[in-house]
Structure 1
Amino acid sequence: MTRLEGRPGEGSGGRRTAGRLRGRLGRTLLAGLVAAAVAVPVSAAASPGVPAPIPAALAEGAAPREAYAANLANLAEAARTARDAGRSGRADRLHAMEVEGTAQFLAFDGRGRGRAVEVFGDLETADRITVLVPGSDTTLDTYQRFRAGAVTLQQRLQAEHTRSAVVAWLGYDTPGTVSATVLTADRAQEAAAELAPFLRRLEQVSVPGARLSLLCHSYGSVVCARTATGPKVGDIAVFGSPGTGAASAAELPTAARVWAGRGGNDWIGRVPHVRVGAVGFGTDPVAPAFGARVFAAGPVGHSDYLKPGTASLDSLARIVLGTLEAPRA
């Protein structure tokens, strides 16, 4: 947080005043982060056939913990609404997201395919913050798979660095894996317009010297490739990527280091890396021509990059922590 100090000679009264100012400023900045997160699901169009309450209404200046409580209440209401409507499968999945009332959602929208922005760790103290961006077919109905990866990454980071936080950002309508939408960047462009301001808010609320990392899976790498990042985002890692739509890492709207990895058993390696008009995503991110720093992923499949004990998880954690050395040219 921004540091405010009492003037020389003010003594304990000045220090108390400065402390109150620091606390007030911190709450104001964190409230801005809540607003940035909430703007995503509130603006989402609800898909037909999936009943749910509108997203939680938060007072201006609400702090993250108020957002966490309000969104948990909204999530519970969404589960009840789904069960009353005979959607027991959705109701069960939403109930699982509550995690006995301990989950920390900056934003939640149970309508349609759904949106969720969940925090693991303490954003107010973390100096290593990771934002995970998912790929196709990630919805509230498949959220536990996405969440499991975020939890595993946070546990891996905590083993070496306790002041870490992971944000699972399901802040856009992901395309279906088998659909024409997944072949174009339309959804990614819309998502990038939401992700960029969210990252700016994270930069504002993070502690001095904090490092932010953006980890982007599959179609999520197309989103990240279109997201302008600020100076605190030091690393972007794409994995299981079909391509980014850019010919090289140098074309991405970021000054961050760009990493790329692909598992030996990932089917996406067999996807043609071409672009014809608006269809396809061009250069393979792990190809030398793209210019990314390639990290070891081991023999993982497309959905396994964040599973415990994998080389890919270890590489991604070391990227976040700043301990992975770039490969030699």
Structure 2
Amino acid sequence: MAPSPPRSHPRRNLPRAVRTLLASLVIAAVAVPMAGAARPSAVPAPAPATLAPLRDATAADLADRYAVNRGSVLAAERMATRHGDGRRAASLRALADPARHLFSFDGRDGGRSVEVFGDLSRARRIAVLVPGAGISLDRYWRLRAGAVALRRELGEGSAVIGWLGYETPDTVSGASVTTGRADGAASELRTFVAELKRAEPTARISLLCHSYGSVVCAEAARGLAVADIVLYGSPGTGFDDAAALHTPATVWAGRGRDDWIADVPHMRLRLPFVTLGFGTDPVSPEFGARYFAAGGGGHSDYLKPGSLPLENIARIVSGRGPAEGGRHA
């Protein structure tokens, strides 16, 4: 028997007016305390070396690109050290390890990094991880850990790309409940996927979108040349249903039973100058995505080694589709 989406939380069966009030209270609790909070100033970094668009993903071309980006990381590390930010400097030193493969890097304005795990020149299956709130160069290990686990699960002939191509919102912030950050990020993601597709025209590309990253993927989805868009731990997408994404890709959605995101009201509250919230729950039948079982884990457990969601996400990337029960049913 095929797995069923998680049952609706009792809160979602309340009358609309009550649900709207609850949404307002949740959003106020998140946004208002952050409104007066001072954000730390961005650590200064030099402009990175200019890169020509990658036309062909040969091993030699990629090696040259990785070397150039390593130089940009080291330049940013030196500036962070002079600035006195030891945490950022340490993160950059780790990123500059010769064993790391950076497709692109820009240390300015909080930092952007796109890292390749596996041999992109031979990959026939490529997974692009789009992270959600709270991921930055200083917390990059969280994105890296999931990418390493997925690459191991996929095996040879695959590559995973950790796409930290935008300034993610703080987990608890006003920005995390609006599409503002996603609007700009979507354009960057579309440009990246187009470049990747030109360099690897025969590879099967999947977008894996965690939490707020699913809002980014949804904004970028229209006509995007990918096989799958996988939404997991999603607060919503900002669209009413999967059809509204206007994508040729298969849209998948999954959520762990212990993921706190299920308690966030899945609706949109339109105010005079901003819309708060992201609408329809992606795992609900109303959204129309294909559901995959994500086990009993929490919000950060989807790519945990040995887990059911990791197995099923890897199967989707491979084109096989998720197992009905998997190893851990």
Task: Please indicate the TM-score interval, normalised by the length of the shorter structure.
Answer: 0.7 to 0.9
| Other-structure match for 1:145 | 142
* Cα distance between partner residues in 1 of 2:177 and 2:269: 10
Matched with 1:12 is none
CA distance, structure 2, for counterparts of residue 135 and residue 236 of structure 1: 15
Secondary structure at the counterpart of residue 273 of structure 1: coil
Given that 1:125 and 1:207 are in contact with CA atoms closer than 8 Å, whether structure 2 keeps it comes out as no
Within 2, Cα distance between the matches of 1:251 and 1:59?
Answer: 34
SS for the counterpart of 2:127 is strand
Which residue matches 1:73?
71
Q: Which of 230, 244, 250 is matched with 1:251 structurally?
A: 244
Does 1:123 find its partner at 2:117?
A: no
Q: Deviations over 1:123-154 (max 9, x none)?
A: 22211011110001111011111111111111
Partner Cα separation in structure 1 for residue 249 and residue 130 of structure 2 = 16
CA contact (8 A) 2:292 2:322 kept: no
TM-score normalised by structure 2 residue count: 0.79
Bigger RCO of structures 1 and 2 (CA < 8 A, at least 6 apart): 2
- Select the residue among 204, 209, 228 that pairs with 1:211: 204
Number of residue pairs matched? Answer: 276
Q: Deviations over 1:245-272 (max 9, x none)?
A: 1111111131111100111111101000
Query: What pairs with 1:46-195 in structure 2 (closer than 5 Å)?
Result: 48-58=41-51, 63-98=61-96, 100-158=97-155, 162-195=156-189
- For structure 2, the 5+ residue unaligned runs are 1-39, 56-60, 325-329
Residues 171/106 of structure 1: CA separation in 2 closer, same or farther (3 Å cut) = same
- RMSD of the alignment, in Å? 1.9
2:312 aligns to what?
Answer: 315
Aligned to 1:271: 264
Q: Are the structure 2 counterparts of residues 105 and 299 from structure 1 closer, same or farther at C-alpha, using a change threshold of 3 Å?
A: same
Query: Distance between the aligned counterparts of 2:163 and 2:299, measured in 1?
Result: 19
Q: Which amino acid aligns with 2:78?
A: R
Equivalent position of 1:23 in the other structure = none
Structure 2 CA distance for partners of 1:66 and 1:230, relative to 1, 3 Å: farther
SS in 2 for 1:243: coil
Q: Compute the displacement of 1:235 (Å).
A: 0.8
The amino acid that maps onto 2:67 is: A
Q: Partner of 1:235 in structure 2? A: 228
Q: Work out the CA distance in 1 between the residues paired with 2:152 and 2:222.
A: 26
Q: Give the Cα separation in 2 of the matches to 1:191 and 1:89.
A: 25
CA contact 1:133–1:216 (8 Å) conserved in 2: yes
In structure 1, distance between residues paired with 2:323 and 2:218: 20
* Matched position secondary structure for 1:226: helix
Correspondence 1:258-297 to 2 at 5 A = 258-277=251-270, 278-297=275-294
Query: C-alpha separation between the residues in 1 aligned to 2:52 and 2:308?
Result: 44
Deviation at 1:155, TM superposition (A): 0.9
**Paired position in structure 2 for 1:202:** 196
1:96-119 deviation digits (Å, cap 9, x = unpaired): 222x31111111112232100111
Instruction: Describe the shift of the 1:325–1:60 C-alpha distance in structure 2 as closer, same or farther (beyond 3 A).
Output: closer
Q: Which amino acid aligns with 1:148?
A: A
The separation in 2 between residues aligned to 1:141 and 1:243, in whole angstroms, is 26
Gap runs ≥5 in structure 1: 1-46
Question: In 2 relative to 1, CA 323–60 (structure 1 residues): closer, same or farther, beyond 3 Å?
Answer: closer
Cα offset, 1:57, TM superposition = 2.8
Q: Which amino acid aligns with 2:316?
A: I
Q: CA deviation at 1:59?
A: 5.9
Task: Classify the secondary structure of the residue corresponding to 2:209.
Answer: strand
**Inter-CA distance 192–105: structure 2 relative to 1 (3 Å threshold):** same
Q: Distance in 2 between matches of 1:150 and 1:237?
A: 15
